[in-house]
Structure 1
């Protein structure tokens, strides 16, 4: 999931479950006076800013209107506000017909019953489930249930690096393992510049990184029954390893402990940091003034060897799903819009513009995505990415553990020791905050 803020998620299941059946009127949306020739659509902020998204999406929505006669009322909702907006929509009845959600929210929202389930019949209306990459569908809801949404944009993490800074430091290639990351990082962290960017106050970013590290240590944050298991040795080791990049290894600037959304990308674009772990970042770099030849890309590091299945996971399955509110009064139009947005041609256009990977297999295999970063991202999604836990309490997990990691980064930035014991204590506190 990209640029997601999980604050306010503690109440998500109870709030939505209570309100999902109570929606009333809403012009062009889920209300009783909704026009069959009008749809409301909440899109997520995928581009450099809200206006960029409007510029990208508006011509495509006009195309849909020309083809179907259905006008789409677009609102691009910032990630920082999206979850709160979804909660408010379900209580006020003023929600959209169709909306984008980060794929890690799928199971949490699915548990509320607020979103239309995509059973076999629904998938057939948009061309069939087998059109989509299975890893992307697996991140659209809990295992064993009909997905709560349809994959729209697929992403994974990669390691982006500044070629000029590498050359100046005499570094010939990007690190493939975490030991190499530390070794390389010490060569790059000098003269007021730093090796690796991080966003210690970005709860989602924290979760994404420690999840992959936990997988590499053979761990998971939930057991087979879906119960939290935050304090396992593997999870403690994963969190400590990540925070140690700042505290012990000193290859992340202490100021990054306070960084929130996108600040590490800005430092990278300005040549303040040499590397950043990010999701499908090419279009964002361009928006910040970088040229394609300024940066390179490689798979995110693993503990040893090369990325692959099992303990060689080096990314979450990231992406954006498109969902339909279950109580929409324009179900046919909403379904037709999802079909349009996931068509081969639109998948090529939108993912090509945003620098993400199509969720539709035929578009994913198009030669337009055989770019250096496109190849790395696609290979990661296919061979070495795993979905975040698809459990009803996933959003609460992001808030609790993401906040624990934020606190540990603050300790590291202020010179306080981050030990195995202090990490375990922070994760224990996070686990106590989870619903029983």
Structure 2
């Protein structure tokens, strides 16, 4: 999911929505009852440094689509802080777009509402076939064994970005490869005016992404194989504590980061206030802050020991944006043509170049633009050491309640309160109690 999504809806609200008989969205867009409308409404997620950047990227492509098809696409770029709530409201009211972006980690949750068009073999055939897409991206499109609820649009992975000058000034020649190395490096980089690494303690989804990966490294999945929450295992507790301890114990994260929300850590990084940041496909955002490409480096995100890989050496979640269609749209043919257009090779190259992301369409990845050193790290991560977040209907609640638990622990760390295994477990137990009972 991209530019980190704030899962703003509470667990109780979401559980009520998921229990409702969802009717989906879709605009009439004009046209008579016997003909397809000549307009589509499209909710795009905020991928650029701000909404205006997204409009500048997307509108020329939507104009191109209109010229080719005669179908006007009415664009709204929705901030991540509002997107999930907007989608959930649309699933119950029926007042939503024809086509929309969703964070890929929400796929299973939104699939369970019944509001999104299932991508069966016939529907995939209308956009060129399922085998056009990279398997790791398809793994975050809904519950395994069911037809996907969406198709991949942009792919991303986490990496460790570092400020080359700050590293050189501190006499550091290599980026850290393990968490112990990161802490040791971080202590060399932390001064009165700068901190070693930035976090976004108030960004619930970023919290989830980081502790999910650390959980995998500690042998925890946060859900049992039958889909029940498992937030209080020793591995889950160790993962959350290790992340918060970057501030609480090691003090290589500034206390003010406890209040940081979306993209604030990137601003600090681009302005030499922090030396490192763990982020997903960040090059375009750095450029928007005026940072030159030769000023930063990128390396695989740290692991506990050894090298990144499968199992306990996972170092990223499978990040990305999916594209979905409300199944009661009154312009299903137009929606399908639009999805085909946006996932076609030409548009995949244009859009992913603009956002610094990676095409989830295999053939589009062959463009030399996606073979840069920075993107090579991300492509290898997606192919060899990334794992999809749990594809369960309760995933969105998981992001909210566990993300909030981590936020509260960062706030306590910033206030000088001790963060212990017992206090972490208590927060996670409270979060688990807020999940719907099966």
TM-score tier (shorter): over 0.9
Q: How big is each residue's C-alpha offset from its partner over 1:336-359, in whole Å with a ceiling of 9 and x where there is no partner?
A: 100100001111100011000001
1:176 counterpart SS class: coil
Name the CA distance, whole Å, in 2 between partners of 1:22 and 1:370. 39
Q: Are 2:124 and 1:132 equivalent residues in the alignment?
A: no
Cα 1:32–1:384 change in 2 (3 A) is farther
Aligned mates of 1:367, 1:265 — CA distance in 2: 26
2:309 is equivalent to residue 313 of structure 1: no
Summarize the Cα distance change of 1:294–1:32 in structure 2 as closer, same or farther, 3 Å threshold: farther
Answer yes or no: is the 8 Å Cα contact 2:409–2:419 preserved in 1.
yes
Per-residue deviation, 1:22 = 7.3
| Deviation digits for residues 228-280 of structure 1 (CA, Å, limit 9, x no counterpart) | 00000111110111011111111101111111111100100110000000011
Asked whether 1:227 is paired with 2:228, we answer yes
Q: With structure 1 as the length reference, what TM-score do the two structures score?
A: 0.97
Deviates more, 1:83-92 or 1:400-409: 83-92
State how 1:31-430 maps to structure 2 within 5 Å.
35-430=36-431
Q: Alpha carbons of 1:123 and 1:13: their partners in 2 closer, same or farther (altered >3 Å)?
A: farther
In 2, the alpha carbon distance for the partners of 1:323 and 1:16 equals: 17
- In the TM superposition, what is the alpha-carbon distance from 1:89 to its structure 2 partner? 2.2
What is the CA deviation profile of residues 388-435 of structure 1, one whole-angstrom value per residue up to 9, with x for unaligned ones?
000000000001100111111111111111111111111111100100
Q: Any idea what SS the aligned residue of 1:159 has?
A: strand
For 1:54-91, what per-residue CA distance to the aligned partner results, in whole angstroms no more than 9, with x for missing partners? 11101111111111111111111111111121122234
Q: Residue 247 of structure 2 aligns to a residue in which SS?
A: coil
1:422–1:333 CA distance, 2 compared to 1 (3 A): same
Structure 1 residues 192 and 257 mapped into 2: Cα distance closer, same or farther (>3 Å)?
A: same
> Contact between 1:29 and 1:94, CA under 8 Å: does it hold in 2?
no
SS of 2:20's equivalent in the other structure is helix
Residue 93 to residue 191, structure 1, CA distance change in 2 (3 Å): same
Length-normalised TM-score, structure 2: 0.96
Count of aligned pairs between the two proteins:
435
**Cα shift readout 1:17-39 (whole Å, capped 9, x = no counterpart):** 5252276x844189979952111
Uncovered stretches (5+) of structure 1, i.e. residues with no partner:
none
Distance in 2, matches of 1:258 and 1:249, equals 18
Give the RMSD, CA atoms, in angstroms. Answer: 1.7
Distance 1:30 1:4 in 2: 35
Paired with 1:94 and 1:33, the residues of 2 have a C-alpha distance of 21
Q: Taking structure 1 as reference, are residues 29 and 209 closer, same or farther at Cα in structure 2, changes over 3 Å only?
A: farther
Question: What's the CA shift string for 1:200-244, capped at 9, x where partnerless?
Answer: 111001000000000011111000000000000111110111011
Q: Secondary structure at the match of 1:4?
A: coil
Equivalent pair of 2:27/2:40 in contact (CA under 8 Å): no
User: Which stretch has the larger CA shift, 64-73 or 239-248?
Assistant: 64-73
Q: 1:132 to 1:342 in 2, by over 3 A?
A: same
Q: Is residue 12 from structure 1 mapped to residue 14 from structure 2 by the alignment? A: yes
